[in-house]
Amino acid sequence: MLLTAAAALGDTAYGATVRQEIEKATRKNCAIGAIYTTIDRLEAKGLVRTWMGEATSQRGGRAKRMVEVTPAGVKAAKEFYSAVMRVSRTASWAPSGVGRLI
Amino acid sequence: MRAVWFLLERVSCILEPAEREAVLGDLKEAGEGPWQTIAEIVGLVLRRQADHWKDWRPWVAAFGVSVPTSFMLMGGSVMLFSGFVTLAQASAARQLFAAEVEILSVQTLLLAGWSWTCGYLVGSVSRRTVWLSIMAYCAPCLFCLSRFHIETFSRLSLLLFVLPLAVGLWQGRRGQRMGRRFGVAVAAIVTALAIITQVGVTGGVGNASRWICSLVQTWPSWCLAVASLDAAREDERAERSTFEMEQHELS
């Protein structure tokens, strides 16, 4: 989910925006600790790349930790999405036609 | 309210400087209050600690090295202290022998070597969970201190190893890279000191269990030597592959 949120945000992906995106999609609160530990794990696997970005007054002059999905991350996210779609093929909640397209 | 902000500053110091910057900025941007910010930071720290414990190394450092070596080092401390007491009594009676002073000096160096290598090993293996390794050293010490009853000895005689151990822990935790030659030299010196001490104390033969105990305590130094050799081999491999890449690019 973090990979998808970061990919969707593109150049504006960092802790706060990724968290906001996930909360919007899941309609649930998401702890900042969960975001940062997941980013660390994904970075260790080479699926995302992070660096310290610029500071803004909106953030009290503090820098952002920017996130970028690597090509390996895009591949892993695509594979995961395909697997979810395939396994959901016969699920009662899946719209008809899902899985056949993949 | 000022106390809450002070608390927030103190709590956020647990995080690495770059991460503190990013996390506090994110929480400020999200408009979180000070209490919520503290809860989020504590949550992050707890998650990080939980992550560290998935690895086998902190467990080995705390329960495989710290606990058993603390008993061994306390034994070494008491033996060294008894040597000093004997020497003080002999010197009072004007029967000071050079050989005794020599053995005691070697024993002092040996205890320092054992303690330092144990500390360095534990510090380098469990950098982020070193607090538990320290507790694993403290628990047996407190247990023994509470049951120590030798009238002529101070209880502090159990803790002569603490200073070199603390220095080793600090240096190991800082991640200082041990050179190949230095690692092997330390292991060889500690082993030689252990042999010299046993030869000096028992006259070359004597108690087999003391010999075994003495040599077993050199294993942290050999672990460090092997690790330093591995690290040097990895560096050489990385250098070779960089050189090959540069040659490939040039051609």
What pLDDT score does B93 carry? 65
Pick from B28, B43, B48: CB nearest A31: B43
Does B15 contact A at CB distance below 8 Å?
Answer: no
B47 vs A contacts (CB less than 8 Å) = 33-34, 36-37
With a cut of 90, say whether residue B236 has pLDDT above it: no
Q: List the one residue out of A64, A32, A45 whose CA is nearest residue A3.
A: A45
What pLDDT score does B92 carry? 65
A62 vs B contacts (CB less than 8 Å) = 21-22, 24-25, 28
What pLDDT score does B76 carry? 87
pLDDT digit string, tens, across residues A48-101: 898 888 888 878 788 888 888 888 888 998 998 888 888 888 888 777 655 555
- Write b or e for each residue in B97-110: b if 16 or more Cβ atoms lie within 10 A of its Cβ, otherwise e: eeebeebbebbeeb
- Considering only alpha carbons, which residue of chain B is nearest residue A17? B26
The letter for the amino acid at B66 is: S
What pLDDT score does B203 carry? 62
Lowest-confidence pick of B46-55, B92-101, B190-199: B92-101
What pLDDT score does B204 carry? 58
CA distance B177 to chain A (A): 22
**C-alpha–C-alpha distance, residues B195 and B201, integer Å:** 10
In the beta sheet, which residues pair with residue B132? Answer: none
Question: Residue B153 gets which letter from DSSP?
Answer: S
Pick from B22, B47, B51: CB nearest A15: B22
DSSP alpha helix (H) spans, B32-161: 34-52, 57-59, 67-92, 98-125, 130-146
Q: Do B46 and A33 touch (CB under 8 A)?
A: yes
The letter for the amino acid at B145 is: L
pLDDT digit string, tens, across residues B169-198: 898 888 777 788 888 888 899 888 888 888
Q: State residue B176 phi and psi, 5-degree precision.
A: -65, 125
What pLDDT score does B163 carry? 93
B43 vs A contacts (CB less than 8 Å) = 31-33
In the beta sheet, which residues pair with residue B20? Answer: none
With a cut of 80, say whether residue B98 has pLDDT above it: no
Please count the other Cβ atoms lying within 10 Å of the Cβ belonging to residue B171. 16
The DSSP code sequence of chain A is: -HHHHHHHHGGG-BHHHHHHHHHHHHTS---HHHHHHHHHHHHHTTSEEEEEEEEEGGGTSEEEEEEEE-HHHHHHHHHHHHHHHHHTTT-TTSPTTTTT--
Q: Do A65 and B29 touch (CB under 8 A)?
A: no
**C-alpha–C-alpha distance, residues B199 and B219, integer Å:** 19
pLDDT digit string, tens, across residues A19-46: 988 998 888 888 888 888 899 889 888 8
Model confidence, pTM: 0.66
Q: How confident is the model at residue B165 (pLDDT cuts 50, 70, 90)?
A: very high
What pLDDT score does B115 carry? 92
Tell me the mean pLDDT in the region B204-221. 76
Does B210 contact A at CB distance below 8 Å?
Answer: no
Q: Residues of chain B with pLDDT > 70: what percent?
A: 93
**C-alpha–C-alpha distance, residues B120 and A69, integer Å:** 38
Mode of pairing for the β-strands spanning A62-69 and A48-56: antiparallel
pLDDT digit string, tens, across residues B127-140: 777 888 888 888 88
What pLDDT score does B112 carry? 92
What pLDDT score does B201 carry? 66
With a cut of 80, say whether residue B120 has pLDDT above it: yes
Q: Do A33 and B47 touch (CB under 8 A)?
A: yes
Q: How confident is the model at residue B116 (pLDDT cuts 50, 70, 90)?
A: very high
Does B23 contact A at CB distance below 8 Å?
Answer: yes
**C-alpha–C-alpha distance, residues B174 and B159, integer Å:** 24
What pLDDT score does B109 carry? 92
Q: Which helix (H) or strand (E) holds B8?
A: helix B2-12
Pick from B18, B45, B46: CB nearest A52: B18
Q: Do A59 and B40 touch (CB under 8 A)?
A: no
